[in-house]
Amino acid sequence: MKKFWSLMIALGITSGATLQAHEGMWLPMLIKRLNYEDMKAHGLQLTAEELYSVNNSSLKDAIVSLGGFCTGELISPDGLMLTNHHCGFSSIQSHSTVENDYLTDGFWAMDRSKELPNEGLYARFLVRMEDVTEQVLAELSDDMSEADRQKKAAEVGKKLAAEATKDSYYDAEVKGFFHGNEYYLFVYETYRDVRLVGAPPSSIGKYGGDTDNWMWPRHTGDFSMFRVYMSPDGKPAEYSEDNVPMKSKHFLPVSLDGVQEGDFTMIFGYPGSTDRYLSSFGVSQAIDKYNPTVVKIRDLKLEIMKEQMDIDPEVRIKLAAKYAQTSNYWKYYIGQTEQLKRNRVLQKKQKTEKEFLDWVNADPARQEKYGETLDLLKKAYASTDATVKGDVYLFEAGLIGPMSPLFAFRMDRLMGRYFSMEDELDKQLKEADSKEKKEELKKNFEEKRAAILEQVRGMAEDHFKDYDETTEKKLIANLWQLYYDNVPVDQQPEFFRYIEKKFKGDVSKYTDKVFDKSIMVNKERFMAFLEDPDDDDFEDDLMRQAGADLIAMYFGREARNAEASEMMDKGYRLWTAGIREMKPDHKFSPDANSTMRMTWGEVGSYMPQDAVFYDYYTTLEGVMQKEDPSNPEFIVPERLKELYNKKDYGQYADKNGELPVCFISDNDITGGNSGSPVINGRGELIGCAFDGNWEAMSGDIAFEDQLQRTISVDIRYVLFIIDKYAGASHLIDEMNLVTSAKEVKEEAQPEKTEASKM
- Run of H or E including 144: none
How far apart CA 738 and CA 121 sit, in angstroms, is 31
How far apart CA 521 and CA 545 sit, in angstroms, is 13
Q: Pick the catalytic residue: 674, 698, 712, 756?
A: 674
H helices present in 27-84, as ranges:
31-34, 36-41, 48-51
CB 37 within 8 A of CB 722: no
The alpha carbon of 141 is separated from its chain's Cα centroid by a whole number of angstroms, namely 34
99 contact partners, CB below 8 Å, separation of at least 6: none
Q: Pick the catalytic residue: 22, 86, 179, 219?
A: 86
How far apart CA 258 and CA 220 sit, in angstroms, is 17
How far apart CA 71 and CA 84 sit, in angstroms, is 8
The count of residues in the chain is 758
How far apart CA 98 and CA 306 sit, in angstroms, is 17
Amino acid letter, 126: L
64 has which bridge partners?
72
116 has which bridge partners?
196
How far apart CA 347 and CA 335 sit, in angstroms, is 18
Task: Look at residue 18 and give its three-state secondary structure.
Answer: coil
Q: Is-catalytic flag, 91?
A: no
737 contact partners, CB below 8 Å, separation of at least 6: 253, 254, 255, 256, 719
Q: Is-catalytic flag, 86?
A: yes
Q: Prior bond to 590 cis, omega within 30?
A: no
CB 269 within 8 A of CB 82: no
Q: Is-catalytic flag, 168?
A: no
- Run of H or E including 244: strand 244-245
Q: Pick the catalytic residue: 61, 222, 263, 691?
A: 222
Map 532-553 to HEC letters: CCCHHHHHHCHHHHHHHHHHHH
How far apart CA 211 and CA 219 sit, in angstroms, is 12
How far apart CA 660 and CA 353 sit, in angstroms, is 45
How far apart CA 409 and CA 714 sit, in angstroms, is 44
Angle, helices 542-560 vs 495-503, to 10°: value is 130
Task: Look at residue 136 and give its three-state secondary structure.
Answer: helix
CA atoms lying within 13 Å on the CB side of residue 275: 15
How far apart CA 402 and CA 387 sit, in angstroms, is 22
CA distances from 588 to 106, 580, 700 (A): 43, 7, 15
- Ramachandran angles phi, psi of 442, nearest 5°: -65, -40
- Ramachandran angles phi, psi of 173, nearest 5°: -155, 155
CA atoms lying within 13 Å on the CB side of residue 409: 17
Angle, helices 469-486 vs 495-503, to 10°: value is 90
Angle, helices 373-384 vs 345-361, to 10°: value is 140
Active-site annotation, residues: 86, 222, 674
